Chain A
């Protein structure tokens, strides 16, 4: 169905027309945003990269040429083969197909990023909203000084410490990353909120008698969504790198499961002769992180253009 000109809806007491206007207004906004987003070719590249990787990760068992190579598996006959028609990325030191393992590796990386952000963002955002709204009060001091403490510790070191005290596995690696990551969101949202809390639309809601949850979640939060999404997209890359770094030093995804970081570190022993064992997983990380970064830049441009 084609979008109608919004001014053609005349009688909104008619529920059908009302619904039509609502739908078409929404479509128009969406079309405008999509148009703006597609103006920047790099953000399109980012979007396509990310989508491709997500599809690969979700349907890994059907796409990977040798899904069984992800489980405990050895094939010494085909060990350490360079890239060829059967094994596009070659095979590793015990004969597993690297392409298949990279595709499955995306799963762990994406999951790592996703789980971390799903936990971190709500916590960080809520604290940021509260601290920003109650600016210059004890709430503000308490929350923001705590975030300062967490931000003062280098994330990788903290994650290493936590992951090494607890069992080295994917779950604990995520936990460690979560602990280091929420303050960034608190900071971000704090900045936006403290700027917005004196805007007239917030004052107007207060003066009319709106309650705190309405002001925080209906008035202020929608204005934080764009920076949050932008940061999330950029952070996916960083969290993935952090996860891969933990895997690289043996504190993340445990063999034989294929973490991209684990694979890179496993292959370093065979460098430079059997370069493909670590180079392809490393490239996979690069592509993944780059994709998310380009997407994030695109989102940022989009939201910036919306405000002007």
Chain B
């Protein structure tokens, strides 16, 4: 697969200017999304995953937010140079977003039908007649397997259940046939059986439309069931990225491993509190690897040198000194060896620039 990436975030840095200093929220992240690809972006609260996506959509609140470095290429063009108008022509048409709380995304004082109107008009870029809007919105609601769409259009969001609201939001987001859908914790606010229904619906729809999706979530389970490729984020850094099977069968970064061990298993065996301590202070982030204060395998090197993403397997990259290219000290902590770690990374320890991700 050598098709050009749809969205290519390169070395993105974002700061928040606040009282008393600057929070270095994103410390140079790289994310690449190919057309139709399903990406999972996993990390705990406050790791910067939402900030990264808001920057991509050009809706980062500023102030306090400030993009201080890097570029975001959408179809090869840097959207950071786009003006509001140009950005608007992409956002809501080619890139759309759905949120965790569908109630907050829908306006409670307008009927569902009324809320479809501006979305469809913006996407079409022209005035639409009332009957056109109605037809298109009914089609969109049918798409998300909602029964009786006619009546739904005339009801208010408060009259719907949480699952139905999220379906409406998905229908709205996909009604414009976007190239990229950013889904921020779409199932988190829902009950587990409803979440399963909504996610499987979403999964089927993006497959049919060949829409690329970035699924932001803190749930590893959801990522495993829905995505092709996973990026694991910790404190504003991508610490590991791999195809989903590979990541779950062979996680490399100590943080990824800790995270996986912390998830309560259906197979039982108690809970692990593998990751000690708390997330760092963004005003004074730890030097070197940002994870080192909580890392069980931290060495002197980790305290001073920021590890770069290094290829350790097919399409599998990890930012950790344990897998430092020519030093190749990978076999230091438990899990299976990173076979062929250095094969594809001749200069493993070097900085992230110029790396070849989807070789």
Are A and B genuine complex partners? yes
A residues apposed to B, CB below 8 Å? 35-36, 39, 305
- Cβ contacts under 8 Å, B19 to chain A: 35-36, 39, 305
Tell me the smallest distance from the CB of B272 to a CB of chain A, in Å: 27
B268 in contact (CB, < 8 A): no
B1-57 contacts to A, CB under 8 A, are 19-20
Tell me the smallest distance from the CB of B243 to a CB of chain A, in Å: 39
A-B contact count (CB 8 A): 5
Tell me the smallest distance from the CB of A212 to a CB of chain B, in Å: 35
Tell me the smallest distance from the CB of A6 to a CB of chain B, in Å: 15
Alpha-carbon separation in the docked complex, A71 to B19 (Å): 51
A-B contact pairs, 5 of them (CB 8 A): A35-B19, A35-B20, A36-B19, A39-B19, A305-B19
Alpha-carbon separation in the docked complex, A39 to B19 (Å): 8
Alpha-carbon separation in the docked complex, A39 to B17 (Å): 13
Alpha-carbon separation in the docked complex, A39 to B20 (Å): 9
Q: Which residue of B lies closest to A35 (CB)?
A: B20
Q: Which residue of B lies closest to A32 (CB)?
A: B20
Tell me the smallest distance from the CB of B149 to a CB of chain A, in Å: 37
B180-205 contacts to A, CB under 8 A, are none
- Cβ contacts under 8 Å, A35 to chain B: 19-20
Q: Which residue of B lies closest to A39 (CB)?
A: B19
Alpha-carbon separation in the docked complex, A183 to B20 (Å): 39
Alpha-carbon separation in the docked complex, A305 to B64 (Å): 14
Alpha-carbon separation in the docked complex, A35 to B20 (Å): 9
Tell me the smallest distance from the CB of A64 to a CB of chain B, in Å: 41
Alpha-carbon separation in the docked complex, A36 to B19 (Å): 7
Tell me the smallest distance from the CB of A211 to a CB of chain B, in Å: 37
Alpha-carbon separation in the docked complex, A305 to B20 (Å): 12
Alpha-carbon separation in the docked complex, A36 to B20 (Å): 9
Tell me the smallest distance from the CB of A34 to a CB of chain B, in Å: 12
Alpha-carbon separation in the docked complex, A49 to B19 (Å): 24
Tell me the smallest distance from the CB of A28 to a CB of chain B, in Å: 14
Tell me the smallest distance from the CB of A176 to a CB of chain B, in Å: 43
Shortest Cβ-Cβ A-B pairs, 4 listed: A39-B19, A36-B19, A305-B19, A35-B20
Alpha-carbon separation in the docked complex, A39 to B18 (Å): 11
- Cβ contacts under 8 Å, B20 to chain A: 35
Tell me the smallest distance from the CB of A13 to a CB of chain B, in Å: 26
Alpha-carbon separation in the docked complex, A33 to B109 (Å): 39
Q: Which residue of A lies closest to B20 (CB)?
A: A35
> B254-289 CB contact bits vs A (8 Å, 1 = yes)?
000000000000000000000000000000000000
Alpha-carbon separation in the docked complex, A110 to B50 (Å): 51
Alpha-carbon separation in the docked complex, A259 to B274 (Å): 71
Alpha-carbon separation in the docked complex, A36 to B18 (Å): 11
Tell me the smallest distance from the CB of A242 to a CB of chain B, in Å: 36
- Cβ contacts under 8 Å, A39 to chain B: 19
- Cβ contacts under 8 Å, A305 to chain B: 19
Tell me the smallest distance from the CB of B25 to a CB of chain A, in Å: 16
- Cβ contacts under 8 Å, A36 to chain B: 19
Alpha-carbon separation in the docked complex, A35 to B19 (Å): 9
Tell me the smallest distance from the CB of A302 to a CB of chain B, in Å: 11
Alpha-carbon separation in the docked complex, A230 to B20 (Å): 24
Alpha-carbon separation in the docked complex, A305 to B19 (Å): 10
Q: Which residue of A lies closest to B19 (CB)?
A: A39
Tell me the smallest distance from the CB of A7 to a CB of chain B, in Å: 14
Tell me the smallest distance from the CB of A308 to a CB of chain B, in Å: 10
Tell me the smallest distance from the CB of A209 to a CB of chain B, in Å: 33
Tell me the smallest distance from the CB of B262 to a CB of chain A, in Å: 25
Q: Which residue of B lies closest to A40 (CB)?
A: B19
Alpha-carbon separation in the docked complex, A35 to B21 (Å): 12
Tell me the smallest distance from the CB of A298 to a CB of chain B, in Å: 14
Tell me the smallest distance from the CB of A127 to a CB of chain B, in Å: 33
> B284-304 CB contact bits vs A (8 Å, 1 = yes)?
000000000000000000000
Alpha-carbon separation in the docked complex, A61 to B207 (Å): 85
Tell me the smallest distance from the CB of A95 to a CB of chain B, in Å: 53
Tell me the smallest distance from the CB of A143 to a CB of chain B, in Å: 31
Tell me the smallest distance from the CB of B58 to a CB of chain A, in Å: 24
Tell me the smallest distance from the CB of A307 to a CB of chain B, in Å: 14
Q: Which residue of B lies closest to A36 (CB)?
A: B19
Alpha-carbon separation in the docked complex, A247 to B322 (Å): 80
Alpha-carbon separation in the docked complex, A303 to B129 (Å): 50
> B115-159 CB contact bits vs A (8 Å, 1 = yes)?
000000000000000000000000000000000000000000000
Tell me the smallest distance from the CB of A101 to a CB of chain B, in Å: 43
Tell me the smallest distance from the CB of B302 to a CB of chain A, in Å: 23
Tell me the smallest distance from the CB of A275 to a CB of chain B, in Å: 44
Alpha-carbon separation in the docked complex, A308 to B125 (Å): 39
B330-346 contacts to A, CB under 8 A, are none
Tell me the smallest distance from the CB of A63 to a CB of chain B, in Å: 37
Tell me the smallest distance from the CB of B334 to a CB of chain A, in Å: 32
Tell me the smallest distance from the CB of B248 to a CB of chain A, in Å: 37
Q: Which residue of B lies closest to A305 (CB)?
A: B19
Alpha-carbon separation in the docked complex, A182 to B20 (Å): 39
Tell me the smallest distance from the CB of A306 to a CB of chain B, in Å: 11
